[in-house]
């Protein structure tokens, strides 16, 4: 089992810095290459983190036989070609979410990954979801039957801020061609990773009705010609009788706090699944007798075993360290990918139906 992996990072933006920091903190890997088309940020990030090799052409990095794995942090419209090239070069891949921007790109990635079963390909939407304690708590409660039969999920989250206001250098996130979509693609991969994952990914989508709007805030000053959705909602019907109301917004005129309700025949769980929100999960149930009024039981996820926070590059949460640790566990044969690209493809197919992406 290898103890020190050589890692290459593609991209020199916000999340490349996060990944580099997390690999260096883990200790099982060294970042030996950084590639970016933008020479200025490339040299600045390489100097900050002491990365010895740089290139404005990621294919030069892939030609290094000593390189074990690459992390793709560039805009989503570049992911498909880069993933295919990396796999053909014999490298393991950690690809940022969303893994690509359209169904054709999804098919390319999945097809190439299946040609290389000896290589790990991990998509990042397990970051705020399957790798964190609230997911494990909710999944265990459902598996133990404490909710009875889960028949409905309700999730909503909307806020005035847009992608570019969160990431000032992320203008690409405001265009469907480069980002794949707005909040439904940016955050939807996390939402479905959590909500379908706690049900062991068993539900299969049967029917969907949805709307999206992109004509709310005037974003011409920040992103001229922006064409991603700003607000929308979907009502979905899945196999097994499960229904799911799902609402997302970014750049809307109100602020709807993130909340998930998972409704079962014996009880309901209410929570906000992101790590930076409360660790509490409210379990509403009738107790031993179902004819009693519902009462609330406050549960709290145990974060004591989650990796420590790196306050400089991982402000407010430590999911990024957990993601990098999981990727390295996969490379060492200690774990199977929690978000293989085949499963990420299932989630993106639903989101592409909501946003009508072809």
Q: Would strands 5-10 and 69-72 be described as parallel, antiparallel, or unpaired?
A: parallel
pLDDT at 312: 61
Query: Residue-wise pLDDT tens for the chain (358 aa)?
Result: 788 999 999 999 989 999 999 999 999 999 999 999 999 999 999 999 999 999 999 999 999 999 999 999 999 999 999 999 999 999 999 999 999 999 999 999 999 999 999 999 999 999 999 999 999 999 999 999 999 999 999 999 999 999 888 788 889 999 999 999 999 999 999 999 999 999 999 999 999 999 999 999 998 888 999 999 999 999 999 999 999 999 999 999 999 999 999 999 999 999 999 998 999 999 999 877 777 788 999 999 998 888 876 666 554 468 999 999 999 999 999 999 999 999 999 999 999 999 999 8
Q: Are 228 and 176 in contact (CB under 8 A)?
A: yes
CA distance 25 to 29: 9
CA distance 178 to 188: 16
Structure tokens at 1: 């089992």
Structure tokens at 70: 């690459």
Which of 255, 232, 230 has the alpha carbon at shortest distance from 160?
255
Q: Is the peptide bond before 128 cis (omega within 30 degrees of 0)?
A: no
pTM over 0.85: yes
Give the contacts of 35 (CB within 8 A, at least 6 positions apart). Answer: 8, 9, 10, 11, 42, 54, 55, 56, 57, 58, 60, 61
pLDDT at 289: 72
pLDDT at 165: 86
Complete DSSP assignment for 133-158: HHHHHHHHHHHTTTT-SEEEEEEEEE
Rg, C-alpha atoms of the chain: 21
Q: Are 338 and 196 in contact (CB under 8 A)?
A: no
Burial 130-139 (b: 16+ CB within 10 A, else e): bbbbbbebbb
C-alpha atoms less than 13 angstroms from C-alpha of 299 in its C-beta half-sphere: 21
């Amino acid at each position: 089992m290898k103890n020190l992996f050589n890692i290459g990072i593609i991209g020199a933006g916000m999340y490349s810095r996060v990944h580099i920091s997390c690999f260096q903190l883990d200790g099982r890997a060294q970042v030996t290459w950084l590639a970016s088309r933008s020479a200025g940020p490339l040299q600045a990030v390489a100097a900050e983190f002491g990365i010895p090799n740089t290139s404005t052409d990621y294919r030069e990095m892939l030609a290094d036989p000593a390189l074990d794995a690459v992390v793709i942090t560039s805009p989503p419209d570049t992911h498909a070609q880069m993933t295919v090239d990396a796999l053909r070069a014999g490298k393991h891949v950690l690809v940022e979410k969303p893994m690509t921007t359209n169904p054709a790109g999804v098919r390319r990635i999945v097809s190439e990954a299946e040609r290389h079963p000896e290589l790990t390909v991990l998509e990042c939407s397990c970051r705020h979801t399957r790798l964190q304690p609230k997911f494990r708590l909710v999944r265990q409660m459902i598996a133990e039957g404490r909710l009875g039969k889960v028949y409905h999920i309700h999730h909503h989250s909307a806020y005035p801020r847009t992608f570019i206001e969160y990431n000032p250098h992320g203008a690409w996130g405001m265009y469907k061609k480069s980002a794949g979509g707005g909040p439904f693609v940016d955050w939807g991969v996390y939402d479905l990773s959590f909500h379908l994952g706690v049900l062991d990914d068993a539900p299969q989508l049967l029917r969907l009705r949805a709307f999206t709007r992109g004509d709310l805030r005037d974003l011409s000053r920040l992103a001229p010609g922006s064409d991603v959705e700003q607000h929308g909602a979907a009502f979905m019907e899945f196999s097994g009788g499960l229904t799911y109301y799902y609402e997302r917004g970014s750049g809307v005129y109100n602020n709807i706090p993130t909340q998930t309700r998972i409704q079962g025949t014996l009880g309901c769980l209410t929570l906000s699944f992101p790590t930076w929100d409360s660790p509490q999960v409210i379990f509403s149930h009738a107790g031993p007798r179902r004819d009693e009024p519902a009462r609330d039981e406050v549960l709290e996820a145990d974060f004591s075993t989650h990796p420590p926070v790196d306050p400089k590059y991982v402000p407010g949460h430590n999911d990024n360290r957990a993601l990098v640790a999981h990727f390295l566990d996969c490379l060492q044969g200690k774990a199977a990918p929690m978000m293989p690209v085949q499963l990420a493809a299932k989630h993106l197919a639903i989101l592409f139906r909501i946003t009508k992406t072809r």
